[in-house]
Structure 1
Amino acid sequence: MKVSFPYMGTTVVYKKLLEMLGHEVIMPPKPTQHTINLGVKYSPEFACFPLKVIMGSYFEAIQRGAEVIVTSGGHGPCRAGFYERVHRRILETEGHQVDFIVFDSMFRNRKTFMENVKRLKGQTPMHRVIHALWLVYDMIGKLDHLEKQVQRIRAYEVNRGETTRVWEQIQKMFDQAYTKKALSEAFNKGQEMISAIHLKQVDKEDRIRIGIVGEIYVVMEDSINMKMEQLLNSLGAEVERSQYLSQWVTYNMLPKWMNWSHEKKILQKSDGYLPIQIGGHAKHNVGQMIDYSQRGFDGVVHLMPFGCLPELVSQSIIPKINEDYEIPVLTISLDEQTGIANNQTRVEAFLDLVRGKHQEKKQSRNRVTESVTQRVSPTG
């Protein structure tokens, strides 16, 4: 089959799995303004931004020869659960007969999940399927580990753009790894390349850390979020996302009785503010903001597609979290009409605010330390 998928984040892992299952992979191009314009043209006006971008991405993949699209589902009030139906109907209206394979958590509907697995594996022997799954799962974890380092050290790079170029080279190396040995070599080489990047020396107590939360697509796909990670890094702030593919896979693949993944702990922290699941990642984002505050982060950037119901709910809870945990949060709404220059100015102003608060906390700690030192030191 000629198979494609939505472009989101580190696409090398999706490509790798489908290739190892014997499919011809049609890589969707990274979303551009043309992709967005294409999606906006054919999507309902009030559909959320990810639906429109993915719609444009599908048209581009079909133009390259895609026959089957593999994607994920959703649940609750979040409209992501209906993406496939809307996309399929639009494509059929435009004369494109494309098949969809939609994966949701195996614990919601095990029968449908296994049917999709059988369709996707085709004639591939089961031992090769298991090998592919384990290799790709290992690859996801290793790539996330390296990406977290990139998001931290890029804030201190001496040569602007060097860290991003290294990260792109690392992804290409992983794309060529088809065995456990090759994957391990790619990971070790990636570590060496990251360690060789020239960095400015910044004291630990002077470092600014910003968390990014929001709807998973706009958080993980930098082509539609103004390259938020790189923007914050360029302003001297370390970054950590609320969503990483390895965490999402672990949470959705392990049964509840043995699932003690990062996401489950985060969801528990949100119970006091949002006790039920309302779809999307609203509950997760509320818990993640609390976690960032407890871990000493200086601020949070909240990315939400315009009109996204779950994120509107989480946005309404932010003032209470800010009051209880004293962590600044900047919400940025994203759609096809987003003013990039305006939002970049807002991010810069937010970083100035965060730095001011960080400096106040540092001075307060120093005063406390000096006071304690004076009380315990012997008098002359």
Structure 2
Amino acid sequence: MRITFPQMGNTCIPVKAMLDDLGLNYEIPSFNTPRSIAEGARIAPESACLPLKANLGNFIQAACRGADTVIIPGGCGPCRFGLYSEMHRQILKEHGYDMDILALEIPRKNPQEFIRRIRILTGETKLFEILRIASRFVRIAGRMDALEQQVRLKRPRENDPGKADRIYAAFRRDVFSRRGSQEILALIRKTRMEIASIPELSCAAPLRIGIVGEIFTNIDQETCLHLEAKLGRMGVEVHRPITLSSWIQHHMIRKALHLPERRECITASRLYMGAMIGGHARETVGNSVLFAKQGFDGIIQTYPLTCMPEITAQSILPSVTRDLGIPVMTLVLDEISGEAGFQTRLEAFTDMLMMRREQGTIKLTGRTAGDEKK
């Protein structure tokens, strides 16, 4: 058995550490590129969303290198992500790629099936060791999210433009030569120290923009045309609450333990969206409300073309703008999204935000869910 998995930002780094610790053979696909996405789009249904096409491109690449088994998380709700595992299996088989698909989804009715799938990967590894490896996986995911946020904060403030990105790019190259969770954690610590040591401009007062939307186009910077780096080079401080570690915590751990949702963003969304409709739609609306109340200059929503939950969220965001006075720009992405128009829209949006700041028109507060009852 030679395992592979879909690429989504830096998700491959904690997954690599976990597979190293388990002693399994694996094949890591390259980070997503226009070529690999086009390869997936070639065999995907035309109306399929961008993440499915990108995943198929990853699996084709890995299959050509000898991978025969795919591990992929599961999903629920109207978002089509919950159907991906079966869609991948059928599409790959139709095009001559005979790969086993293991969907690691927390079951609602049959926990034995989930345990069986885990045992396919772990073999005779003892339960205690499995839990230790899982704990290290979660820890590395959290450290990676912290590293990414450190880079986002450093970009608009560094007095040597591009240095943080150069250190970060070197990390993403070097990490694949490390073996196991301990070596990877050590490299993360070293990289964070290097970034922290970069001198900062004393007079920096960057615009603050919050990123919301569908998780794949939020996390995978190759797919969203390096949105965060582009904004950072324009002198913008970027915040993105949708992360791998938050997804693990809220959609895997809390779901497995049947714990209720008590996140601030879910509470903040209730005035505008009273029910879970799939994907990250509630997080999109709720985080937009929170960004407005925290005095952010603007919000950018990203999602793949045809994403049903985010289309619904997009239709609600004008109400957030009206009530709380925060501008929102939506970027819809697919395999033919172009750099030039993308860059032009970002520049126009940030110029508008700077003009608003200079004119003092930012509205910091607005109505809350409690106001609806008054």
Normalization by structure 1: what TM-score?
Answer: 0.88
Contact kept? 2:36, 2:54, Cα under 8 Å: yes
Question: RMSD of the alignment, in Å?
Answer: 2.4
CA distance in 2, matches of 1:332, 1:363: 22
1:131 CA drift (Å)? 2.0
Task: Name the residue aligned to 1:160.
Answer: 161
Deviation string 1:178-212 (CA, Å, 9 cap, x unpaired) is 465x5664444233201222332234xx3211111
Give the partner amino acid of 1:41.
Answer: R
Contact kept? 1:12, 1:175, Cα under 8 Å: no
Task: Name the residue aligned to 1:22.
Answer: 23
Deviates more, 1:316-325 or 1:171-180: 171-180
Task: Name the residue aligned to 1:176.
Answer: 178
Deviates more, 1:18-27 or 1:325-334: 18-27
Q: Secondary structure at the match of 1:307?
A: coil
* Pairing 1:317–2:319 present: no
Task: Name the residue aligned to 1:378.
Answer: none
1:173 CA drift (Å)? 5.2
Structure 1: tracts of 5 or more residues without a match: 366-380
Within a 5 Å distance, the mapping from 1:1-380 to structure 2 comes to: 1-10=1-10, 11-105=12-106, 110-171=111-172, 172=174, 176=178, 178=180, 185-203=186-204, 206-255=205-254, 264-361=263-360
1:50 CA drift (Å)? 1.2
Structure 2: tracts of 5 or more residues without a match: 365-374
- Label 1:58 to 1:174 Cα distance change in 2 as closer, same or farther (>3 A): closer
- Label 1:175 to 1:202 Cα distance change in 2 as closer, same or farther (>3 A): farther
CA distance in 2, matches of 1:90, 1:5: 16
Structure number with bigger Rg: 1
Give the partner amino acid of 2:157.
Answer: Y
1:110 CA drift (Å)? 3.6
Q: Secondary structure at the match of 2:132?
A: helix
Q: May I ask how many residue pairs the two structures share in their alignment?
A: 361
CA distance in 2, matches of 1:115, 1:128: 17
Q: Secondary structure at the match of 1:95?
A: coil
CA distance in 1, matches of 2:175, 2:96: 38
Identity %: 32
1:349 CA drift (Å)? 0.3
- Label 1:61 to 1:350 Cα distance change in 2 as closer, same or farther (>3 A): same
1:17 CA drift (Å)? 0.8
CA distance in 2, matches of 1:185, 1:224: 28
- Label 1:255 to 1:195 Cα distance change in 2 as closer, same or farther (>3 A): closer
1:264 CA drift (Å)? 2.3
Contact kept? 1:76, 1:280, Cα under 8 Å: yes
CA distance in 1, matches of 2:230, 2:63: 32
CA distance in 2, matches of 1:251, 1:109: 20
Give the partner amino acid of 2:340.
Answer: A
- Label 1:329 to 1:147 Cα distance change in 2 as closer, same or farther (>3 A): same
- Label 1:128 to 1:41 Cα distance change in 2 as closer, same or farther (>3 A): same
Deviation string 1:248-297 (CA, Å, 9 cap, x unpaired) is 11112444688588x72211211111111111111111111111112221
CA distance in 1, matches of 2:328, 2:72: 31
Task: Name the residue aligned to 1:373.
Answer: none
CA distance in 1, matches of 2:156, 2:359: 21
1:152 CA drift (Å)? 0.9
1:363 CA drift (Å)? 10
Contact kept? 2:325, 2:362, Cα under 8 Å: no
Contact kept? 2:297, 2:353, Cα under 8 Å: yes
Give the partner amino acid of 1:3.
Answer: I
Q: Secondary structure at the match of 2:314?
A: helix
Give the partner amino acid of 1:176.
Answer: R
Deviates more, 1:156-165 or 1:275-284: 156-165
Give the partner amino acid of 1:149.
Answer: Q
- Label 1:362 to 1:200 Cα distance change in 2 as closer, same or farther (>3 A): farther
Deviates more, 1:221-230 or 1:243-252: 243-252
Q: Secondary structure at the match of 2:263?
A: helix
